[in-house]
Structure 1
């Protein structure tokens, strides 16, 4: 029988088991992410991941039913954590146009700084629920903030959000599929700012402001 923690009323044994299970799951995800960064999603195998996480294959199947389920979990993990970092960066900012622009530029810059992940997002596209679940609501939220504050002039938030995400993937693909060397992040943000009603001159100025550093998440903030 697990020992009762007199302070919290929870079982110490149960809490330790849950923490150990979460640590093991995190090791599996991290091993998969590292392998994906080296060789892309096609290089991920259960054997490679279990060796990287230092676990047996039987343990792997306690957490994931298949390789495909693991890949889906990696997508959700990476994109959601990126979304949380964007939330942390823009927290306290008051200008909706600046929030929208900085977020768009960082999203686009992921393809420039890490082409493997850029291609991964392009190939998955809007068919991957994890991408839409993490990024779609955030884009809609930022656009709605702009409408409510009077900064944006647009009628359909859902359509604008879909256009934001669709153009993100399209520009990523165009950048990665050519020999272009110029980072398209600012030009992309400038175009989207104009889409939501910001004047051309102001959109250009906002999209070329110094980009804040994307903060790292603490272990407790990561999913």
Structure 2
């Protein structure tokens, strides 16, 4: 049977797609590493292309600007983790445990992948992409806790800002100092106390067995 044009083009198209994916991945990894090492403002487009060993023209085949690739790195590095945590916690009956488990996994991820931790820390509290990914999730979990009677919060927005700021500070401590092995539990307990839980109950919730991420 003769090969149709579409069938003949499939292997070449697949190879081309794989090459594009590998090239994009090189750019993403270079940008993630540089931002983790230097911070967003100290990384230029030429730094990224040099680290990836690619030309500037190649860069523009994938991203329109330095800011766009930084947003793509944040999306791939943080949003995917957030989605996995959502899946892990969606059926948890205790809203306090849901909140604590997500915070603990964020801290543990920085412990197991310091480059990721530095990327989040250096991206910083002011970066809209980071706020846009983590902020709504924190606010959602806080509202769930209030609605369930587990948390006592006067202002969700202020509480979210406190959680967000303290998270970045804790991640910075994790990647730059010798943190205790149970720092994820210590941090989760502190946040549960902040939202009105009794210290003894906060301790119990924060030290429950932590489910694995899907």
Q: TM-score, normalised by structure 1?
A: 0.75
Gap change, CA 1:35 and 1:205, over 3 Å in 2:
same
C-alpha distance after superposition, 1:11-59 (max 9, x if no partner)? xxxxxxxx999977754553244446767455962254365xxxx7544
Q: Please give the secondary structure, in 1, of the residue aligned with 2:125.
A: helix
Match of 1:45 among 28, 42, 48: 48
Gap change, CA 1:181 and 1:188, over 3 Å in 2:
closer
Where does structure 1 lack aligned partners over 5 or more consecutive residues?
1-18, 216-223
1:101·1:206 contact (CA, 8 Å) conserved in 2?
A: yes
Query: 1:119 Cα deviation (Å)?
Result: 1.6
Match of 1:30 among 9, 16, 25: 25
Q: Please give the secondary structure, in 2, of the residue aligned with 1:198.
A: coil
Moved more, 24-33 or 100-109: 24-33
Where does structure 2 lack aligned partners over 5 or more consecutive residues?
1-13
1:96·1:151 contact (CA, 8 Å) conserved in 2?
A: yes
Q: Please give the secondary structure, in 2, of the residue aligned with 1:63.
A: coil
1:104 corresponds to 2:113: no
Counterpart position of 1:15: none
How many pairs are equivalent?
A: 193
1:97·1:206 contact (CA, 8 Å) conserved in 2?
A: yes
Following the alignment from structure 2 to structure 1, what is the Cα–Cα distance between the partners of residues 113 and 131?
Answer: 20
Q: TM-score, normalised by structure 2?
A: 0.78
Counterpart position of 2:156: 157
Query: 1:177 Cα deviation (Å)?
Result: 2.5
Counterpart position of 1:119: 118
Moved more, 38-47 or 76-85: 38-47
Moved more, 73-82 or 154-163: 73-82
User: How do 1:28-177 and structure 2 match up within 5 A?
Assistant: 28-35=23-30, 40=36, 45-49=48-52, 58-177=57-176
Counterpart position of 2:11: none
Gap change, CA 1:61 and 1:41, over 3 Å in 2:
farther
Following the alignment from structure 1 to structure 2, what is the Cα–Cα distance between the partners of residues 117 and 176?
Answer: 9
Gap change, CA 1:156 and 1:209, over 3 Å in 2:
same
